[in-house]
Amino acid sequence: MAGFKQKISFVLLGVVISISSGTTAESDLTAKVSKLEPEGYRTFSGFNFEEYTPSTNGLKKRVEAEVAYVISQDSTEGTKYAGTYSIVGHSQGGLRVLAYANQLKNKSAVEYNRLDGIITVSGIDRGLLALDGGFGTLKARFNTDTNIIWRGFRAGVGVFDIGSTGILSGAPRQIGDVSLLLSNFLPGEFRAYVKHALSDASEDSLAEIRDMMPGSTFIKENVANNKEFTYRVITGTASGWRLVQISTIFGKAWVPVYLTWNTYAYYSAYMDVPVFSNDIPVGYIVGLNNNTLSIMDPAAENDIRKKVSDMKDAFAKIQDIHFWKCVGIIGMFSGSAQYGYDAGQAKKWMANFDGELNELKGSGENDGLVAKESQYYPKKFTDPNTGEKLDVHTNVLGKTSEGYVGFPYNHRQIWEEAADVESKYKEMVIEARTARVRK
């Protein structure tokens, strides 16, 4: 599709994400934009985690270069590139095409009027939910999962403990180096996605990744800001004596009254406020195959699943051994109660392997990498206080009530292999020509 080659893998403690799009050096800021296709659109490809070199240059600089490149290319190619066009972005390219429209509007009204529409395909339109909260939050999740598995291994060695001075008497129950565990599960080339997030580098030194975080300054200024709605929910009731002022024939008086009142918890909801105008139609194509491992080679997926299954069975056996050691009393003096618990937790983690990966991605509904809610802006927002339906962005392509068109593909398949997806966004390109509002 559009001549792009992309390889994606995703790893968490034995599962890897790496993304590779094309072979052009990342320093070329316009390498991810195609020439105009005969059907009247350009494609914007995604981010290359594997080859990314830390830089303080963020997405704003890249998008500015892409806008200038298209304008320059069109002006130098004469009538070949005259007329209108749409832009189609995959992955990070989805975020960039949304920002492209805003920057183009600010740069030239004439050029902006040439833009028919925007289409994102498994785009990180609202930011990569896995990075919500920053690198520290992601690293904390990895540390939590790492230590669950570490303690399971520790419990396995603890089978041989026979007393308080056993072989693990001084071994920590927590470790801080997640790379130690990752290296025991997968080869190094699959760590491309997580190596930046798990490093000690500052977010500003990894500016393009920083800009992909939900709520980043780049997203707020170039794609969509948000409006906060504070609301309250009744959580129960409370009772007690209170002084209440009443009127008497002698005037105002305070008297004690036993009252019951509601208690509340206060929450915030956020409405997206797109920077891109409702004049521009936007089409969202959403990937819905949430099997992270399906992004990898089938043989590699089978190997990982077998390893996970074997480890689940092993931790179950370790848990049983510690149970019987406790029954035989000796376990009570050699830490078997704790070892058994730790082995049980590790067993549960392995049994819920896919669910654990979904937690990292931030949602059970995803394309194996990007959460579904990251891939589109809803048409409406419901005010939690009044129930009123407020417009977010209603000029949406695809003609579905959901506001997006879903396909049962993962993040790689939807761009590389899915002919029906390509047909759909070409339909949207045609639809955009009439849905575009020009003033």
Per-residue pLDDT of the chain (439 residues; tens, 9 = 90+): 433 333 322 233 333 333 333 333 434 888 999 988 999 999 999 988 778 888 899 999 999 999 999 988 877 655 556 689 999 999 999 999 999 999 999 999 989 999 999 999 999 999 999 889 888 888 888 888 888 988 898 899 888 877 654 555 556 677 766 665 555 554 334 456 667 777 788 889 999 999 999 999 999 999 999 999 999 999 999 999 999 998 888 888 898 999 999 999 999 999 999 998 899 999 999 999 998 888 878 888 888 889 899 999 999 999 999 998 888 777 677 788 889 999 999 999 999 988 988 887 888 999 988 999 999 999 999 999 999 999 999 999 998 888 999 999 999 899 999 999 999 999 999 999 999 998 7
User: How much is the pLDDT for 2?
Assistant: 38
CA dihedral (375, 380, 383, 388) in degrees, to 10, reads: -170
Closest to 209 measured CA to CA, from 304, 138, 280, 313: 138
- In the chain, what are the domain boundaries? 1-154+178-223+277-293+365-439, 227-270
CA distance linking residue 169 with residue 258, whole number of Å = 58
Closest to 198 measured CA to CA, from 135, 145, 127: 135
CA distance linking residue 437 with residue 160, whole number of Å = 74
User: How much is the pLDDT for 76?
Assistant: 67
User: How much is the pLDDT for 138?
Assistant: 83
CA distance linking residue 143 with residue 187, whole number of Å = 19
Structure confidence by residue, pLDDT tens digits, 322-345 = 998 888 777 677 788 889 999 999
CA distance linking residue 337 with residue 343, whole number of Å = 10
The torsion angles phi and psi of 203, rounded to 5 degrees, stand at: -65, -35
Cβ neighbors of 178 (< 8 A, separation 6 or more) are 13, 139, 142, 143, 146, 198
CA distance linking residue 37 with residue 116, whole number of Å = 14
Closest to 119 measured CA to CA, from 37, 240, 190, 211: 37
Three-class SS state of 26: coil
Domain 1-154+178-223+277-293+365-439: assigned CATH number: 3.40.50
User: How much is the pLDDT for 181?
Assistant: 54
Could you tell me the two tokens for 136? 């520290």
User: How much is the pLDDT for 298?
Assistant: 87
CA distance linking residue 191 with residue 19, whole number of Å = 10
C-alpha distance from residue 60 to each of 102, 120, 124, 130, 208 (Å): 11, 18, 15, 21, 9
DSSP one-letter code for 34: P
pTM for this one? 0.84
Could you tell me the two tokens for 379? 């048409």
